[in-house]
Chain A
């Protein structure tokens, strides 16, 4: 993915909101890529991982050359394991743990907003005096799960708004969020969120399964939309389309119709 020259000046770009969107396929390979990319770049990462367990991400990250355990120990990575936190919240013991409210307390409590989650993100990414990391990064995998857990779309949008204000504009960091979407879907709340996020994103990576079905050599198609229209010059958005194949340790990209299996 780096070879696509997307990220030639990535380290210079700050305050960007990247939306990862998948339709009819699984876009989590992009999440793994961004996680290892930002950790290797020396950024402080707050990873809100709602979909898989820590060991899952760790195994994949090790293939990509990064150890999440080591990053967590040196304080570079703050990992919120949604699966474990949910269980602790719903079935946990009576004892209070350090008096801090759980970031996912909206599930069990009557407050319908995601303020606790936002506070967690903010405290994780606000630089302490001794930190020497480059810009903060928030990674969310994935946002559609919050809807399934019972948050209203407005609450999710408020959460993302506050994250944008704090991480992108105040701390000059980046945000990467994964959402699932389906153009024919009947899940209006999800589509509402995706639509709103598209308006605010600086870069949209839209991963789609092939319309013709499963293929061994081409796993899908990725559309890269650079929202130049959000910037000063009011240009049209730049859209690039590639197809990709996921391999064990990397992903190869090629122009449509030019898969290695065909040439």
Chain B
């Protein structure tokens, strides 16, 4: 039985590089914080570069396989560039109909040319492969290589869109849970808990936010969301202003306080039973 995973995803939308005859990438509308964003991405909503970042405790190759399976089912041409695992290990878990549709370039066996004169793909050729060597027609998924290029690096968190970064940077999508079905496809289990931004009382983030300030109106970076709200709404502010402070006494209350004599009640505790033993008994003075 497949266990559910939770994966934080970041979408990168880059300006397409200027290359002759390059694939045309259209900027899709922002996915928003919908709960089925992951399913939508796997089903073909992914535009541009999608980076799957995993860690040693939770591997991401099965998510990659889900992307591959969905792409094959959409009759897209899929090129899998292998750097980290051999073909048999990547194919494990894919159905035979999917397996025969995949094109492979093997950068795993001999990326540096140490073993023989003619490796299939050298590590240095990967850039060239992306630039022009891909088969034409359709939008191929760059496969396993990217996962490993991401996973091999020690993980500083990916930067939030800064000034000059991709436009339309919205709040990062919430974590989604998903499970992988035996046939290799993916089923999203939605967002596990509501994010703090969705609770009411908070003004929604403005649409005209500049890319250089991915901060909410509280001045906090969204990477550390609070579970409580720091700001007051106008109604709350008015209500607070209407409450008199406790040190301001109205005249009847003041006279009542002055009239009643203050008394101090002291209740003595019963004396404790003293220990008859002399604690200094064992001193040899």
Q: Chain B contacts of A158 at CB under 8 A?
A: 112
Interface contact B3-A169, CB-CB below 8 Å = no
Are B114 and A199 in contact, with the CB atoms below 8 A? no
Kindly list chain A residues whose C-beta atoms are within 8 Å of the C-beta of B154: 188, 191-192, 195
Which chain B positions have C-beta within 8 A of A235? 2-3
B56-70 contacts to A (CB < 8 Å): 56-59, 62
A1 located at the interface, meaning its Cβ lies under 8 Å from any Cβ of chain B in the complex: no
Chain B residue contacts of A161, Cβ below 8 A:
111
A237 to B86: give the CA distance in the assembly, Å: 21
Given contacts A195-B56, A234-B62, contact A115 B151 (CB under 8 A): no
Asked if A199 and B56 sit within 8 Å, CB to CB, the answer is yes
**Complex-state Cα separation, A199 to B150, whole angstroms:** 12
Interface size class of B (residues with CB under 8 A): 20 to 34
User: In the complex, which residues of chain B have a beta carbon less than 8 angstroms from the beta carbon of A234?
Assistant: 2-3, 62, 93, 180
Q: Tell me the minimal C-beta distance from A154 to chain B in angstroms.
A: 10
CB-CB contacts below 8 Å: A159-215 with B = 161-162, 165-166, 169, 188, 191-192, 195-196, 198-200
The 8 Å CB contact of A200, one of B2, B84, B86, B92, is B84
Interface presence of A118 (CB below 8 A): yes
Contacting residues, chain B, for A231 (C-beta < 8 A): 92
- CB <8 Å contact, A229 and B108: no
Contact of A236 with B115 at beta-carbon distance under 8 Å, contacts A169-B86, A195-B56, A198-B56 already known = no
| Shortest distance from the beta carbon of A173 to any chain B beta carbon, whole Å | 15
B89 cross-chain contacts in A, Cβ below 8 A? 230
Main secondary structure of the interface of B (DSSP, over half): loop
Instruction: Let me know if B152 is at the binding interface, CB within 8 A.
Output: yes
B188, CB-defined interface residue at 8 Å: no
B28-81: which residues lie under 8 A (CB-CB) from chain A? 56-59, 62
Kindly state the separation between the CA atoms of A131 and B282 in the bound complex, as whole angstroms. Answer: 80
Residues 161-209 (chain B) with a chain A CB within 8 angstroms: 180
> Distance in Å from the Cβ of A193 to the closest Cβ of chain B?
10
A232 within 8 Å of B (CB atoms): yes
CA distance A157 to B154 in the complex (A): 13
Residue in A closest to B182 when the chains form the complex, CB atoms: A233
Q: Is the CB of A162 within 8 A of B114?
A: yes
Task: Please give the residue numbers on chain B whose beta carbons come within 8 Å of chain A beta carbons, in ascending order.
Answer: 2-3, 56-59, 62, 84, 86, 89, 92-93, 108-112, 114-115, 151-154, 180
4 residue pairs, one from A and one from B, having the closest CB atoms: A198-B56, A232-B92, A234-B62, A229-B59
17 contacts between A and B (CB under 8 A): A157-B152, A162-B112, A162-B115, A165-B108, A165-B115, A191-B154, A192-B154, A198-B56, A199-B151, A229-B59, A230-B59, A232-B92, A234-B3, A234-B93, A234-B180, A235-B2, A236-B3
Give 4 new A-B contacts, CB below 8 A, not counting A157-B152, A162-B114, A165-B109. A118-B114, A191-B154, A235-B2, A236-B58
